[in-house]
Amino acid sequence: MKRSSLAWVLIIGAVLCGLFVVSLMAMMLFMSGGERSFGGGDRIAVIPVEGVIDDAMAKNVNRYLKLYADDSRIKAIMLRVDSPGGGVSPSQEIYREIKRIKDSNKKKTIVISMGSVAASGGYYIACPADMIFANPGTVTGSIGVIAEWVNYKDLADWAKIKPVVFKSGEFKDTGSPTRELTEREKVYFQAMIDELYGQFVTAVTEGRKGRGQKGSELDPVRVKELADGRVYTGQSARNYGLIDKLGNYGDALAETAKMVGIKGEPNVVTPPKERQGFSILDLLFGIAGLRDLTPASLPASLSDLDTSVKFKYQWK
C-alpha cells in the first residue's frame, strides 16, 4: 500500500474513533441525568411537564422532583405545565410526589407556571403547590373524569366475526370492544367515574383551601359547581380562585425567587433535554433494532388493537 493511501486510512480511522468517543461520552452524560445550571449558590429548579401525562412522564417528572428535593442548593422547584392532562393514575403519581415534598421537612417551595394549557390532570398536579401562575389566556380547569375505548362491534358484525368469551364473573369483560354495555355495566362504570371525580374534587378542595379570593373561598360545594368539566381562561380561573396570580414564566420565576429570598437573577437548574439528532451510536446499534421490525410485529387483526378502557383526567 502506498504511503499516501495508508495516511488517508489512518486519518479516516482516527476521525471515526474520535466520533465514536464523542458520541459515547454524550450518551453517558445523557444517561447520567446531567443538568443545566448557571452560576453557584442557591438555585431554582424548573421541571417541564409538557404533553399528555402518562406513566413514562410521571416517572420522569417524579425522578427530578425527588432529585431536586434532596439537593440542599435547590431552594424552590417550579413546574412549567403545558398539558391537557392524561391518565388518572399518572396524574396522581405526580400529585402525590409534590404533596410528599410539601409535607416533608425538606422546606422546598413549589410553584406552578402554566403555559398554553394546564387542564384536567394538568390542573390536578398543580393543586398542592404553594403558588399557581397562569397567563390570562391559559386554558385550565376541566375538572372531571372521562373513560373511553374503541368499540368495533358493528365492524365485527359486518365482517361476520363472532367473539367467543368464557368468564368467571358478570363484569370480567366489561368494556369489551365486541359488544354493547349492559345497563348494569353502565351503572358500574359510572360509579367508578364518580369515585375518581370525587378524588379530583377532594384534591382541589384540599389544595386550594383558604386560597380563593375573599368571598370566593373554595369549599367542596363551590368546587363541585366549578367542576363540571368545562375549561376556564387564566383570567376566569383567577377570579374563581383556581389559581393565585396572573403572569408568564418570567413573572413566576421572579416571584419564586422572592419567596425563597434569592436576590437578583436566580440560578436556574433544569433536567437535561432529551437527546435529538443522529449519532454514530445510532449507526452502530440502531440497525439491530430494525431486525425486530417485521410484518409479524405489526397488528395483524382487530384483536391486536389497544381497546382497553382508559380512565383519564384529560381535556379532550
Retrieve residue 239's grid coordinates: 377570579
Looking at residue 27, what is its pLDDT? 47
The amino acid at residue 105 is N
Question: 251 in a domain, yes or no?
Answer: yes
In a domain, 216, yes or no: yes
Higher pLDDT, 173 or 60: 60
Q: Which three cell numbers stand for residue 276?
A: 435529538
Question: Residue 169: exposed, middle, or buried by beta-carbon count in 10 A (0-12, 13-18, 19+)?
Answer: exposed
Q: What does the pLDDT look like over 20-52, one tens digit per residue?
A: 554 545 444 444 344 444 455 789 999 999 999
Query: Is residue 158 predicted with pLDDT exceeding 80?
Result: yes
| 57-87 confidence digits (pLDDT tens) | 999 999 999 999 999 999 999 999 999 999 9
**How far apart (Å, rounded) are the C-alpha atoms in residues 115 and 82?**
5
Reported for 191-195, long-range contacts at CB under 8 A and 24+ positions apart, including other chains, are 192/147, 192/311, 193/145, 193/147, 193/311
Split into its structural domains, the chain has a count of 1
Confidence at residue 107, expressed as pLDDT on a 0 to 100 scale: 84
pLDDT for position 169 = 92
Q: Does 196 score more than 90 pLDDT?
A: yes
Is 280 or 263 the better-scoring residue by pLDDT?
Answer: 263
- β-pairing, 43-50 vs 74-83, is parallel
Note whether residue 6 is domain-resident. Answer: no
Average of per-residue pLDDT across 111-128: 97
- For 233-270, write each residue's pLDDT tens digit: 999 999 999 999 999 999 999 999 999 999 988 999 99
Residue count (the chain): 316
* pLDDT at 34 (0 to 100): 46
Residue 31: inside a domain, yes or no? Answer: no
| 151 band by pLDDT with thresholds 50, 70 and 90 | confident
Residue 27 belongs to a domain: no
Query: Which residues are known catalytic residues?
Result: 120, 172
CATH number of the domain that residue 214 is part of: 3.90.226.10
Long-range CB contacts (within 8 A, 24+) of 14-21? 16/280, 19/280, 20/280, 20/281, 20/284
Q: Is residue 282 part of a domain?
A: no
72: Cβ contacts below 8 Å, ≥ 6 apart:
none
In a domain, 66, yes or no: yes
- The CA distance from 316 to 312, in Å, is 10
Domain contains 1:
no
Provide the pairing of β-strand 109-119 with 139-141. Answer: parallel
Banded pLDDT at 273 (limits 50, 70, 90): confident
Mean pLDDT across 191-214: 88
- Virtual torsion, Cα 233, 235, 241, 245, nearest 10 deg: 120
Within 10 angstroms of residue 199's Cβ, the number of other Cβ atoms is 16
Provide the domain limits for residue 128.
37-273+308-314
